[in-house]
Copies of this chain bind each other. A is one copy, B any other.
Amino acid sequence: MSGVIGIFGTKRQNVASTAYYGLYALQHRGQAACGIVVNDDGVFSTCKDEGLVSEVFTSEKLSKLTQGNMALAHVKYGIEGYGGRENVQPIVINHIYGSIAVAHSGSLVNAYDLRLELEKKGSVFVSKSDADIIAQTIIRERLSVDSIEEAVALAMPRFKGSTTIVVMSSSKMVAACDVKGIRPLCYGKRDDGAYVIASETSALDAVGAKFVRDIIPGEIVVFTSEGVKSNTDACRKVKPALCVFEYVYFARPDSVINGLSVHEARVRIGTALAKSHPADADVVIGVPDSGIDAAIGYAKGSGIPYEIGFIKNKYIGRTFIVPGQKVREDLVRIKLNAVSSVVKDKRVVLVDDSIVRGTTSAKIVKLLREAGAKEVHMRISSPPFLFPCYYGTDVPSKDYLIACQHSSDEIKRIIDVDSLGYLEQEFFEELKSENNCGFCTACFDGKYPTIAPTYTGKLRFETKLSERTEK
């Protein structure tokens, strides 16, 4: 998924700190790498690396970023084979009219084709990043037009897949969203006049910016010293296709996408689940953190009291070490602990957002059983995951997806629950009417909103690159 934040200010100031706070608010969208580029009147200073925001930005490094009136920042979702410092965004390149930085949320399906085309014209690459291809494509277009926004407008139709981007030039900031609007993007304004562009509204809240509006599918918005201009020429009548997992799992509950609160959407999902999959139970609990909101909804919908069933250890992060081999199996136990007094001798409804491989779910259920739960009724706030995603979500191949390999009854036995219910896909139709927006539900039904990808998965792209050799 990835997260983007851009700041277009009115004067020279510590924009790096604003970007830093914004990245913290978006950290949930990508934990593999992050970066901030500060623009000080055309001179870009960059700090980026692999790691969490808290790991990459030491006090010393943050202080080395200059003051500026613009900044662009990115948190990167980890995709196997795409590590390496050179792939961390924002991508910064220098060209004949100065520098540009590009931050991308999403995934191109025609990356290899675009790259080959550029290379045949003499371009070279130092990264495998889609953002690099996007940046160089834009710069090629820039040679024939008069402005960066025109170059973006010419380039956008060439990018297939999910392409939500923010481009920072020496003097302007350009935000653009593909015609399907698969990944969200919005902007807000601070009291000091600065504009803030972000993947989610919660990042606007974190930096004290008031939400102005979502950037709509196909739109290009340009922020300059003259003000904000929108180009909607490419916006089509076609139904947009926001990734439904933004509501189900990706986005923060305190964000609002297309006018609908993510928390509220999850509560409704929970309420719907209570109706379609009722349970005769004493207490409703959620798996922290992703199942909590839907659990509250299930409690509302069913009248069964909501309770705190698990305490999540908030100190366990990336640096947690698993020294003893044997204990590796007990990792879930160290992260989560059941609250006995809540579940003992109770019939428990357990709400989670999805079942991917099933192994974690099985361990969580076991914790409840050990803590004395009499019955466990599992409710999942999404339909079963059956198809790969080409738009930025890293899911295992079908071989590992439990829903592809087993029937619902088998899954029930594998994870040891008394009943199991998934959200019906039809529910999203209802949600659509609510937020006036179409959904991409390809991971449930295989109906992809874009052309077929020219390769399957990122790893194929990498394979193609590694096969190249000197004749």
Give bound CA distance, A308 to B125, whole Å. Answer: 47
A425 CB, nearest partner CB in chain B, Å: 24
Q: Which residues of B contact A105 (CB under 8 A)?
A: none
- State which residues 135-149 of A face B: CB under 8 Å: 135-136, 139-140, 143, 146-148
Q: Does A237 contact B (CB under 8 A)?
A: no
Q: Does A454 contact B (CB under 8 A)?
A: no
Give bound CA distance, A296 to B120, whole Å. Answer: 59
- State which residues 10-43 of A face B: CB under 8 Å: 14, 16-18, 20-21, 24-25, 27-28, 42-43
Q: Does A110 contact B (CB under 8 A)?
A: no
Q: Does A407 contact B (CB under 8 A)?
A: no
Q: Given A124-B123, A202-B311, A341-B264: A42 and B466 within 8 A (CB)?
A: yes
A128 CB, nearest partner CB in chain B, Å: 8
Q: Does A205 contact B (CB under 8 A)?
A: yes
Q: Which residues of B contact A337 (CB under 8 A)?
A: 25, 202, 205-206, 252, 254
A24 CB, nearest partner CB in chain B, Å: 6
Could you say which of A319-327, A350-358, A375-383, A415-423 contacts chain B?
A319-327
Could you say which of A55-63, A273-281, A431-439, A442-450 contacts chain B?
A55-63
Could you say which of A154-162, A166-174, A390-398 contacts chain B?
A166-174
Q: Which residues of B contact A95 (CB under 8 A)?
A: 119, 124-125
Are B471 and A97 within 8 A (Cβ)?
yes
Give bound CA distance, A143 to B120, whole Å. Answer: 8
Q: Does A339 contact B (CB under 8 A)?
A: yes
Could you say which of A177-185, A212-220, A299-307 contacts chain B?
A299-307
Q: Given A96-B468, A97-B469: A315 and B116 within 8 A (CB)?
A: no
Are A16 and B123 within 8 A (Cβ)?
no
Give bound CA distance, A319 to B27, whole Å. Answer: 14
Give bound CA distance, A240 to B307, whole Å. Answer: 32
Give bound CA distance, A83 to B354, whole Å. Answer: 45
Give bound CA distance, A339 to B170, whole Å. Answer: 36
Identical copies in the complex: 4
Are B468 and A125 within 8 A (Cβ)?
no
Are B119 and A122 within 8 A (Cβ)?
no
Are B208 and A16 within 8 A (Cβ)?
no
Give bound CA distance, A98 to B471, whole Å. Answer: 10
A282 CB, nearest partner CB in chain B, Å: 14
Give bound CA distance, A414 to B471, whole Å. Answer: 53
Complex partner residue of A327 from B17, B57, B314, B339, CB under 8 angstroms: B17
- State which residues 322-372 of A face B: CB under 8 Å: 322-324, 327, 330, 333-334, 337-342
Q: Which residues of B contact A28 (CB under 8 A)?
A: 315
Q: Which of A122, A263, A330, A469 has the most CB of B within 10 A?
A: A122
Give bound CA distance, A293 to B309, whole Å. Answer: 11
Q: Does A228 contact B (CB under 8 A)?
A: no
Are A17 and B323 within 8 A (Cβ)?
yes
Query: Which residues from chain A sit less than 8 Å from chain B, CB to CB?
Result: 14, 16-18, 20-21, 24-25, 27-28, 42-43, 52-55, 57-59, 62-63, 85, 92-99, 116, 118-126, 135-136, 139-140, 143, 146-148, 169-172, 202, 205-206, 208, 252-254, 256, 261, 263-264, 289, 292-293, 296, 300, 305-308, 310-311, 313-317, 319-324, 327, 330, 333-334, 337-342, 465-466, 468-471
User: Can you list the 3 inter-chain pairs with the closest CB atoms, starting with the nearest?
Assistant: A261-B341, A17-B324, A17-B323
13 contacts between A and B (CB under 8 A): A24-B320, A57-B321, A96-B116, A96-B468, A99-B468, A122-B139, A169-B470, A170-B470, A206-B337, A293-B308, A296-B307, A296-B308, A300-B305
